[in-house]
């Protein structure tokens, strides 16, 4: 898990680069507040977005990482209002 801030490339590419010296299966990052999930170079990457500050996104969001043995999944959940 890494914040993902910086000035070069995309937030996702900076997050992946933070772990390029190691052997990882999953990288979670933030910084941009933009919900995102993908696989790049065999690594599951995800950004949960934000449950409190959606910025330019139409919905608030959060992520759920599920690890079952050797399998990992990252799901995004979206909602309209942060009011409880």
CATH number of 11-79: 3.60.21.10
pTM of the model: 0.85
How much is the pLDDT for 84?
Answer: 65
More confident residue, 41 or 71: 71
- Contact yes or no for 82/61 (Cβ under 8 A): no
pLDDT in tens, 24-66: 999 999 888 899 999 998 999 999 999 999 989 999 999 999 9
Q: How large is the average pLDDT for residues 66-75?
A: 96
Sign of the alpha-carbon dihedral angle for 28, 33, 37, 38: negative
Residue 19: pLDDT above 80?
yes
Phi/psi for 26 (5° steps) reads -140, 135
């Amino acid at each position: 898990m890494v914040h993902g801030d910086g000035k070069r490339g995309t937030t996702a590419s900076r997050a992946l680069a933070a772990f390029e010296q190691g052997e990882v299966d999953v990288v979670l990052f933030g910084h941009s507040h933009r919900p995102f999930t993908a696989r790049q170079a065999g690594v599951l990457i995800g950004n949960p977005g934000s449950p409190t500050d959606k910025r330019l996104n139409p919905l608030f969001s959060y992520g759920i990482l599920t690890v079952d043995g050797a399998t990992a999944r990252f799901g995004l959940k979206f909602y309209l209002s942060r009011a409880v």
